[in-house]
Amino acid sequence: MKTDFLKIFKLKDLDPSMLQKESCYSDKIIALVEEILLEIKEKGPEPLIKYISKFDNYSPKNIGQIRVSDKEIKYAVQTVERKHKKLINALDTSIKNIKNYHQHQLKKEPKSWFIKPAKGKKLGQIVNPINRIGIYVPGGRYSYPSSLIMAAIPAIVVGVKEIVLVTPPAEGGKVNDVILFLCNKLGIEEIYKIGGAQAIALLAYGVGDIEKVDKIAGPGNIYVTLAKKKVYGDVGIDSLAGPSEIVIIADDTAEESFVAADLISQAEHDPNSRSILLSNKEFIKKVSIEIGRQLENLLEKYPENGEIALQSIKSNCMLVYGEDIFKLTDLSNKIGPEHLEIICKQQKRVLKKIKNAGAIFLGNYTPVAIGDYSGGTNHIIPTSRNARFCSPLGVYDFIKKSSVTYYGKEALKKERRVIEQLAEYEKLYGHRNSVAIRYKED
């Protein structure tokens, strides 16, 4: 396949505005999401059933029918155990590696602690898991068990007591057997057959006997993302997931076929996915040829995936060349990609200069697919340049800290004038009095 559609730029000629991703949120979609959320928040069960019937491939008669039954879970477990023995082994390895990583991550997180900075004075913090969380797992036509594992395990590791799962069902209201098998394995019992903005409304507001959650985690489509954005404040959210992204910083030590394959692997997610290669001019020429060859092969073997990848590469792939690997690294920091691969001689020096990246993969034999499935790190990662201020999903997303303060009478007396003076300057006289009243006898 000819690749004259590829966008190739010289670093010094690159227009910085080309790095900015335009929002793909249309006013029509935003209005629909807001309508769904408002109706369900105000009226509860009736609009929830209406939107499930409209968007979720089945028509429940009441709220009780949207919950997956024990019988359905048992049947799914038996089916998977009978039909998917190799898949079960793969899932077990994935769970083991991801749990191990997040258990070590938790050990590095701050614990409850206290200090005594002066006599009669004690300060510190206590750490607790969030009580009730909701996990959104994309579903319907395709199934994503890896997303369930990634969202659930950090919460399980920190000791979240109640985990609720929502996922779009297939035709007739059937939830994917492997998803239910995993829920059973991970101890998740509260599962609802619902997707889209209506699922986020259910989690954020609660409907009927279904209690609202404290935080929502997990990726979804544009309706899910907009709904999460809208309900933030009523509940917590992990992040706002956009189309997948990859940046690869490479030199001649990289294998061009590997680099092309990794660019295409992210492109097959979505026509809006973004793939960028930062390298030298000669290596980019080699990768361009490989992209054409591999896209042709993908189109022949898996036409649907190939068409998505081709559309994404045509629209959102950029190949940028320059001779200074560290100037290319500066460009990567401006992009702040979801996934970053570094395959070059000066790998350690380049890594030290990385400031903005969601997940980083080093060397010829560390494709992003490792992080997607079995490596152990989390694949729910900030997109859309949010790596500038966000982190991958982790145990820290499911714990909360409370500060603790104790002052004895003499300790407060030593600082009362400080508090009173600051309160008076800010004209908060009730604040001043709340200290002064404790020393009326003085």
DSSP string, 56-69: SSS--SSGGGGBPP
Exposed / middle / buried, residue 189 (Cβ in 10 Å: 0-12, 13-18, 19+): middle
**Coil/strand/helix, residue 140:** coil
pLDDT at 382 over 80: yes
Distance, in Å, from the CA atom of 17 to the CA atom of 6, rounded to the nearest integer, reads 18
pLDDT at 338 over 70: yes
pLDDT at 414 over 70: yes
pLDDT tier, 242 (very low <50, low <70, confident <90, very high otherwise): confident
Write the CA distances from 108 to 104, 124, 427, integer angstroms.
Answer: 7, 18, 42
pLDDT average, residue stretch 157-184: 96
| pLDDT 10s digits, 186-236 | 999 999 999 999 999 999 999 999 999 999 999 999 999 999 999 999 999
What's the pTM value of the predicted model, to 2 decimals? 0.93
pLDDT average, residue stretch 136-157: 92
Q: Quick one: which of 264, 259, 257 has its CA closest to 301?
A: 264
What does the pLDDT read at residue 441? 73
What does the pLDDT read at residue 23? 61
**224 token code pair:** 């899910």
Distance, in Å, from the CA atom of 141 to the CA atom of 73, rounded to the nearest integer, reads 19
**Coil/strand/helix, residue 286:** helix
pLDDT tier, 140 (very low <50, low <70, confident <90, very high otherwise): low
- Residues with catalytic function: 338-339
What does the pLDDT read at residue 209? 94
What does the pLDDT read at residue 141? 66
What does the pLDDT read at residue 53? 96
pLDDT average, residue stretch 49-61: 95
What does the pLDDT read at residue 16? 73
pLDDT average, residue stretch 340-363: 97
All domains of the chain in start order, with CATH: 7-20+243-376 (3.40.50.1980), 28-237 (3.40.50.1980), 408-439 (no CATH)
pLDDT tier, 139 (very low <50, low <70, confident <90, very high otherwise): confident
pLDDT at 21 over 70: no
**At 73, which amino acid appears?**
I
Mean pLDDT taken over the chain: 95
Terminal C-alpha separation, the chain: 89
| pLDDT 10s digits, 286-326 | 999 999 999 999 999 999 999 999 999 999 999 999 999 99
